[in-house]
Structure 1
Amino acid sequence: MVTCHLRYEIDPARIDDFEAYVTGWVPVITRLGGTHHGCFLPHEGASDIAYALFSFSSLAAYEVYRTAIRDDPEAQRLLRLGAETRCIRRYDRTFLRPAGPAEGVPV
């Protein structure tokens, strides 16, 4: 399994646009084979940092998803929303794996 951790730097004045953008990906990711773990908006502290986490069974499965969103109308709508509203200043994408022993190996 691979988990994608997204750290967004957002425009606090566009938080409603960003929330529509980031939560809109939940059904898209689910429909295209991933598991979404949630979107996290600023509450206390920095007002311009937000996060999202989602997983796929492998990096190859994630790449299939990345190819599929090119032709997915809802994904394209969300990408346009982000671009048109400029609610996202920048983002960082990090891929993580679960810690611990390999599956099937006794502890």
Structure 2
Amino acid sequence: MIFYATLMKTESSTVTVSDITPVKFNELYSKYKETLSCPCSTTSISYKNFVSNTIKLHPVCSSRFVSQEWIHALYSLNASRYGASDFRTTASSQVG
């Protein structure tokens, strides 16, 4: 019994398709999925249509405890005027 094999040389070529549609891309993908390349040099949907940022600050970051008035009160030279039970009386000794 004799076995033999024929080695075939495969050649590849590059074909550029302009103005491709999703239907055409899917058709090419089903046929050439191993070698299909899509460099996407342009975007068809602008980023603002599918990207959004929502900034939500922590409640402390927008509270009165970070206001300039409160920070100045921590370093008040006349803090004793607030009374012994007021935090501002001892606040300057707790900073730093």
- Interval of TM-score (by shorter of Structure 1 and Structure 2): under 0.3
The normalised TM-score by structure 2 is 0.26
- The higher-RCO structure (CA 8 Å, 6+ apart) is 1
Which is higher, the Rg of structure 1 or of structure 2?
2
The normalised TM-score by structure 1 is 0.24
Higher strand share: 1
